[in-house]
Structure 1
Amino acid sequence: MKIAVFTDTFLPQINGVTNTLNNLMEYYEANNIEYLIFAPDNDIRKNENYNIQRFFSIKFFLYPECRIAFPNAFRLNTSLSSFKPDIIQIMTEFNIGRAGLRYGKKHGIPTISNYTTNFSQYLNYYNLDFLNNYIWNYMRWFHNQNDLTLCPSEEIRRSLKKEGISNTGIFSRGIDSKSFNPKLRSEELRNQLGINDKLVFLYVGRVSPEKDLDILIDAYKEIFEKYRDKIALIITGEGPYLEKCKNDFPKGTIFTGFKKGKELAQIYASSDVFVFPSSTETFGNVVLEAMASGIPVIGADAGGVKEIIKHGVNGLKFKARNVNELINSMAELIQNKDLRNTLKINGRNTGLNRSWNKVFHGLMDNYNDVLISKKNNSVISA
């Protein structure tokens, strides 16, 4: 099987889509599956690999992790004509995604799209609500032209159905439980950060309004007033909300900036509770990373996160954007060591059962189903 992948975000950018693609490439290579990726350049990398084609791009104002690319039609068509893909996998809905859709339609190649980002929800956080209908009209137009639209969770699948996007399937997410591991807990790191004698809360992710960090600010202020030197908070990540967070979180909050690889894994394992207030996630990769790292998780009962967390079993859930419920969850885990230990053990087991191999085997099943359906429809039409 030959697969052409179209994406408007790619390495070295770090986000849910690029993390998935990085693991997917490893899976393709391990299973001798031929692939060709079409992606934007990023002012750093151009065509560094024979099977990655990059095109001139600019940052997307609403979400800089995605870029607006301007693919060269001649180069793209030449590459695809030579490669002859069996499937076109479209990871994003912007210019490169549209180029993949056009090519698939023109040449009768099955296209599978991915829905990975709740852009319509993000509009509320940037005072752009008036664009909501336009966004959904575009999403319906784009995704309904594909043979299949894959969603990272059943919650998102249901929301797409309500918005008129049909013919959907599930493409979940996995975790490398060797890379994210409780064994990476580092007392040396805790000493360096001055948190060796504290119970440490951790947030990892983009530092931006749509992650509901205003809720975490209010909750942690209340918790800090009560527990003071017994607790600490680490914020790992960067984004447009960073200065506000530095101003509004209590003094002593630790901002590590963006981290990846082993450094990130050590921060997870060296913390005590992961708190993730975002109600806009289509999946929530960081929740799995925290679970695999052996720390209990608190997350909003919304989006993809609500499906990962089983309340009281492998984590705690609070009603989305409810400050009081978040405060209560944080206080409960400060006070109840037995509950923390239970959530740690069950969370780690959740991570162990979410291997990327299992996820990608399911994706291959989706590919094969679409190919068979396309072939059968061609026979009927003939």
Structure 2
Amino acid sequence: MRVAIISESFLPQVNGVTNSILRVLEYLRAHGHQAVVLAPGDPAVAPKEYAGFPVLTLSSVTWPGYQDVRVSTTPQWTLERYLNEFSPDVVHLASPFMIGYKGALAAATLGIPAIAIYQTDIPSYAARYGIGHLEFYGWYRVRQIHSLMVATYAPSTYSRDQLVAHGVPRVGIWGRGVDKVRFNPAKRSQALHDQWAPRGETVIGYMGRLASEKRVEDMIHLVGIPGTRIVIVGHGPQRESLEKEMPDAVFCGGLYGEDLPRALASMDVFCSTGELETFCQAVQEAKASGLPVVSPRRGGPIDLIDPSRTGWLYEPGNMTEFRERVTDLVGDPFKREAMGRAARASIEDRTWDHLCAELMDHYREAIRLGSLAAARSDDRSNA
């Protein structure tokens, strides 16, 4: 197959959207397919290729106040030109909203079947960032984009139901894989743990962007739990304010390569605080690292966490319950270790190979349905 991937973000920006695209590209290369990536970026630092496939950097500007986020200014006709030149069998829109909308229109104009991988609850972000009046428009745009798709694939039952409730048609589920070799309990470093917690404290960890939509400030409610040390991995616009609020916490910044799985495996309890997670890959990577997870009962983590077995879910916004759930795990090392083992066991069949093979079937079905639609259109024209 020839697959054109149009994404709202790509390397060097590292996030859930980028990571899933990288795994898909690696699978496409390993199985003899062809691909191209179109994404906004800074030409000075954006890669020219990945896994042997070309990466076309689209003109863009940075989002005010958040330099890691880029918004494409590329017109639709440019995307049509790129797609014509590559001649894909199917277009894969990754977390479409801005450039994804233009990509959806370009694919529809050219008659190329397209699927959308829904990954980011952008309309709900509007309320979180104090512009809730734009949430209605956000869902309008989501319906516009996804109504042009042969199919949309949400990463969890919660996000699927949310899309259906907002009038998005033809929604299925495509989850996310996890690298269980890279994220592994065997990578736990007692030396690193001792560096963080020199008095033998239990390490309560967070990994992810330090941004408003992630609600990392909720970790403040865990300050003062006896015998604990909070460790924060990640970077973002809230880092400075969080450091002021939690002066005794360890802030590691963004970690890459082997430093990331080593840090994750060296924690004792993992917390995911965001309430707008369509999936939450960080939860899955923490489970692969053998950690029990505490998360709000909303979004993707509902599918990922089995309460009392692999972690705990708490009522969104209930900080008393959040603290109680974490305190429960801190105070019971046997329960913590049992949940960690169960968490690891629960991801054994969630490899990227398995998930990408499933995605190939979705591509083939989109191509088949696109061919049928084209044939019906030709029949009507001939009639």
TM range (shorter): over 0.9
| Inter-CA distance 281–103: structure 2 relative to 1 (3 Å threshold) | same
- Specify the code of the residue in structure 2 equivalent to 1:276: S
Aligned pair partner of 2:315 in 314, 319, 330: 319
Q: Distance in 2 between matches of 1:104 and 1:289?
A: 34
1:343 aligns with 2:339: yes
Long gaps (5+) in structure 2: none
In 2: Cα distance, 1:342 partner to 1:191 partner? 22
Question: With structure 1 as the length reference, what TM-score do the two structures score?
Answer: 0.93
Residue 249 (structure 2) aligned to one of 241, 246, 253:
253
* 1:170-249 alignment, distance < 5 Å: 170-195=173-198, 197-218=200-221, 220-221=222-223, 224=224, 226-227=225-226, 230-249=227-246
| Cα distance between partner residues in 1 of 2:190 and 2:354 | 34
| Mapping for residues 269-280 of structure 1, pairs under 5 Å | 269-280=265-276
Structure-2 separation of matches of 1:180 and 1:91: 24
Deviates more, 1:8-17 or 1:85-94: 85-94
Task: Say which is worse superposed, 366-375 or 316-325, in terms of deviation.
Answer: 366-375
- For residue 286 of structure 1, give the secondary structure of its aligned residue in structure 2: helix
Amino acid across the alignment from 1:265: P
| Sequence identity (%) | 29
Which residue does the alignment assign to 1:5?
Answer: 5
Question: How many angstroms does 1:151 deviate by?
Answer: 0.7
In structure 1, how many angstroms separate the alpha carbons of the residues matched to 2:77 and 2:320?
56
Partner of 2:58: 55
Distance 1:90 1:212 in 2: 27
Q: CA RMSD in A?
A: 1.8
Q: 2: distance between equivalents of 1:157 and 1:150?
A: 8
CA shift digits 1:277-324 (9 cap, x unpaired)? 211100000001111111111111110111100101111111111111
Contact map agreement 1:55 1:72 (CA 8 A) in 2: no
Deviation at 1:73, TM superposition (A): 6.0
SS at match of 2:242: helix
TM-score normalised by L of structure 2? 0.93
* AA matched with 1:165: V
Query: Which of the numbers 291, 306, 310 marks the counterpart of 1:310?
Result: 306
Cα distance in 2, alignment partners of residues 55 and 98 from structure 1: 14
Deviation at 1:71, TM superposition (A): 2.7
Pick which of 133-142 and 188-197 moved more: 188-197
User: Would you say how many aligned residue pairs link Structure 1 and Structure 2?
Assistant: 375
**Does residue 145 in structure 1 map to residue 142 in structure 2?**
no
Q: What amino acid is aligned across from residue 211 of structure 1 in structure 2?
A: K
CA contact (8 A) 2:203 2:231 kept: yes
* Structure-2 change in CA distance of 1:63 and 1:138 (3 Å): farther
**Contact persistence 2:209–2:236 (CA under 8 A):** yes
Counterpart-to-counterpart distance in 2, 1:336 and 1:191: 19
SS of the aligned residue for 1:352 comes to coil
SS of the counterpart of 2:347? helix
Once structures 1 and 2 are overlaid, which stretch shifts more, 312-321 or 302-311?
Answer: 312-321
Give me the whole-angstrom Cα distance separating, in 2, the residues matched to 1:107 and 1:74: 11
**Counterpart of 1:281?**
277
The residue number in structure 2 matching 1:352 is 348
Counterparts of 2:190 and 2:47 in 1: how far apart (Å)? 41
SS, match of residue 202 in structure 1: strand
Q: Distance in 2 between matches of 1:201 and 1:76?
A: 45
2:92 partner SS: strand
| Partner deviation per Cα, 1:19-50 (whole Å, 9 max, x = no partner) | 10111111111111110111112254346226
